[in-house]
Homo-oligomer: A and B are copies of this chain.
Amino acid sequence: MNTFGRIFRISIFGESHGQMIGVVIDGCPHGIPLKVEDFQADLERRKSGAIGTTPRKEDDIPEIVSGWFNGFTTGAPLTIIFHNKDTRSTDYIDIKNHPRPGHADFVARQKFGGFNDYRGGGHFSGRLTLVLVAAGVIAKKIIPSISINALLIEAGGSTDIINAVKEAKDKGDSIGGIVECRAGYISVGYGEPFFDSVESVISHLAFSIPAIKGIEFGSGFSSAKMFGSQHNDPIIDETGKTSTYNAGGITGGLTNGNELVFRVAVKPTSSISKTQQTYNFTSGKIDELKVEGRHDTCIALRVPVVLESITAIALADFVLLSKKTKG
């Protein structure tokens, strides 16, 4: 499904090498001031160009084509599109029959009977995260008092991230990383039992970001090694403030008034310059594949702003929803 959310509902469309990609936001409150420049900072952070990111350059200029009038959101569906410009489809022609390991090429071909647009990963491309960032810009405006910050805290197992990326790049290889996201100044009680715990909704969105393979909240996997007497965060005042933070700001699936903290594991970029082996549907044999095109050495470098965006999307929906639970 290409729609997510209950009140602040985003629907995304487009392919890596198609005419455009876009997002329709239904349920966006009216009266939010918005201008094209508002997207710039976050789009810039997602961009390629830095060491370890793909040299593919996109202007990535958002066009707001509906739901926007005289500089404000109108309450009608807000649509933001990005025209695709710098696409070199010929780079990708072989992947239809010669699927790249770690990519969606093979599964997409099987699921869609070969009718999928395979160029650049098509609808499975990481390029689609661009519209998540655009939606995140709007979401952040709905929850202006909440601060959200994500950071790459480890790459290839090292905290010396720049060097780790450089070394992988020199080898024609790629590396993964860990991104941590923290959100502060969140009131108590967001999240909707039983199925829409804060962890449930954030993880749902996080795993729609290509390359994410794990997520943990607060002490996460370390919790499994702790005693309850260590893990339980003692409540110290009537606002719910705790003296330790193992819960990561979420108790019983609801925000508990402390800082929200979670980390995601980003796998190494699947596309690497090194020669790999894979099945060739044309020859019916395993043979060698050298992935052409321009790729990121460490896609995790571009994940922080996307993670902030999906966090903002999740929280904006929770905040809008919570207005109805007041009896």
Contacts and interface: CB of A to CB of B under 8 A. Distances in A.
Interface of A: 1-4, 6-7, 9, 11-15, 18-22, 24, 26-27, 29-32, 63, 65-67, 69, 72-77, 79, 99, 101-104, 106-108, 110-113, 115-117, 121-124, 128, 154-157, 168, 171, 173-178, 188-189, 192-197, 199-201, 203-208, 210, 212-238, 240, 242, 246-248, 251-256, 265-272, 274, 276-279, 281, 284, 286, 300, 320-327
23 contacts: A3-B9, A3-B195, A19-B66, A30-B325, A31-B112, A75-B325, A102-B228, A102-B232, A104-B254, A111-B189, A113-B327, A121-B252, A124-B253, A156-B226, A175-B226, A204-B204, A213-B217, A213-B218, A213-B248, A214-B217, A235-B286, A238-B279, A323-B323
B18 A65 contact: yes
B204 A201 contact: yes
Contacts of A229: 173-174, 272, 274, 276
Contacts of A233: 101-102
A115 B223 contact: no
User: Which 3 residue pairs of A and B lie closest in terms of their CB atoms, listed nearest first?
Assistant: A104-B252, A31-B327, A214-B216
B194 A235 contact: no
| Central interface residue in A63, A73, A231, by most chain B CB within 10 Å | A231
A2 B21 contact: no
| Central interface residue in A168, A253, A271, by most chain B CB within 10 Å | A253
A181 to B, nearest CB: 14
Contacts of A195: 1-4, 204-205, 208
Given A72-B115, A195-B2, A208-B253, A226 B268 contact: yes
A119 to B, nearest CB: 8
Given A113-B30, A251-B104, A224 B176 contact: yes
A271 B228 CA distance: 8
| Central interface residue in A75, A192, A201, A204, by most chain B CB within 10 Å | A75
Contacts of A168: 227-228
Given A29-B326, A30-B116, A226-B267, 7 more contacts: A14-B79, A15-B74, A111-B254, A197-B207, A200-B203, A223-B267, A227-B268
B188 A236 contact: no
A80 to B, nearest CB: 10
B1 A26 contact: yes
Nearest to A198: B207
Contacts of A101: 232-235, 242
Given A221-B265, A224-B177, A325 B29 contact: yes
